[in-house]
Amino acid sequence: MKICILLTTYNREKVTMRALDSIDDENLYIDYLVVDDDSSDGTRQAIRDWNNRENPGDTGEEELTQRRSEGDLRIIRGSGSLYWAGGMRKGMEELLKNDSGYDYLVMINDDVVFYPGALTKMIGRSKEKGDAPVSGAVRDSKGRISYGGVVYDMKKAKPTQVDITEADTGPLDAMNCNCFLLPWEIFRKAGAFDPHYVHSLADYDYGFRLKSLGVSVWLTAEFVGECDDNDIAGTWRDRTLPRLARLKKKEAVKGLPRKQWYYYLKKNFGLSQALWHSLTPYIRILLGM
């Protein structure tokens, strides 16, 4: 069983290393592809050191493929402006260009702390569902589901998060890629993330692409790790901020930029839903909601 884990990181050395250290599926052959978006905090060197801890003879040069006991690791250095979706897309395109015939691609966020045997459990879930893609359910520090996947009311473009107690009621419409296992043959068919997205929405959009290809995506029936949900404080959803500040944050790369939001809605729900739901964030800001 050969797996490639893909992640992107930027200036989160301690967080990134905590995530990598938590992956401990000893019976799996795991390669790593890390897209580091030009970190300045020592993240790249920390990953090199982690990679070489059992093989001190390696040179540590970032563009070389290096050997670990579990597999190989490669670091691709970004420009500093890739953000999450751009970094993951760059990694996906690299993997498709240099296809190594893996069994699975596993996309992760570097702020997830994985439980022992998480990947093995996800592979088991995939096989249980006929070799389907699987989104790993992760919970917050209070034990509540934080990331996994959603089903949509397509007429209203309204998502509802699926909990692990509902994991077998049906496939997901869209999923988070905080921890996402994708059979390699399906990855070859689906390709990389849509280049319209810079930071967010790319994973949800990818779920709809898989659905359009007739591929069902399932949630794990148990938690595979921990990751706190993003805090709304200081974001465009923070009702304590002035309206102008919220508007600026909404249009920032890590907010909900209007062109990307409209594109996502029109592509997956149609023109009428795109027109209406493109306006609702501005209405919320105006009304202080």
pLDDT tens readout for residues 12-68: 999 999 999 999 887 789 999 999 999 999 999 999 888 876 544 444 444 433 434
151 and 18, same domain (yes or no) = yes
Q: Mutual orientation of helices 202-212 and 83-97 as an angle, nearest 10°? A: 50
176 and 96, same domain (yes or no) = yes
Residue 80 CB coordination number (10 Å): 12
Q: Alpha helices, DSSP H only, in the chain?
A: 13-22, 43-52, 83-97, 118-128, 184-190, 202-212, 243-251, 258-269, 271-287
- The pTM assigned to this predicted structure is 0.91
275 and 144, same domain (yes or no) = no
182 and 78, same domain (yes or no) = yes
63 and 154, same domain (yes or no) = yes
pLDDT tens-digit readout, 237-273: 999 999 999 999 999 999 999 999 999 999 999 999 9
164 and 265, same domain (yes or no) = no
71 and 139, same domain (yes or no) = yes
Which residue range forms the structural domain that includes residue 258? 243-287
Handedness of CA 205, 113, 110, 66 (dihedral sign): negative
- Residue 253 maps to a domain: yes
150 and 55, same domain (yes or no) = yes
Say what the pLDDT of residue 52 is.
79
- Residue 234 maps to a domain: no
Query: What mean pLDDT is predicted for residues 224-246?
Result: 93
Residue 252 tokens, joined: 């920032």
Instruction: Provide the number of structural domains found in the chain.
Output: 2
Say what the pLDDT of residue 72 is.
87
Across 39-53, 66-80, 112-126, 153-167, least confident range: 66-80
* Pair 31, 1: CB distance under 8 Å: no
| pLDDT class of 104 with cuts at 50, 70, 90 | very high
Query: What mean pLDDT is predicted for residues 219-236?
Result: 94
47 and 105, same domain (yes or no) = yes
Question: What distance in Å separates the CA atoms of residue 181 and residue 134, rounded to the nearest whole number?
Answer: 5
- 3 state SS of 252: coil
- Residue 235 maps to a domain: no
Q: What is the dihedral of CA 233, 237, 243, 244, to 10 degrees?
A: 80
- Residue 237 maps to a domain: no
**Residue 233 scores a pLDDT above 50:** yes
| pLDDT class of 70 with cuts at 50, 70, 90 | low
Say what the pLDDT of residue 279 is.
95
90 and 175, same domain (yes or no) = yes
Mean pLDDT of the chain: 91
167 and 253, same domain (yes or no) = no
Say what the pLDDT of residue 55 is.
46
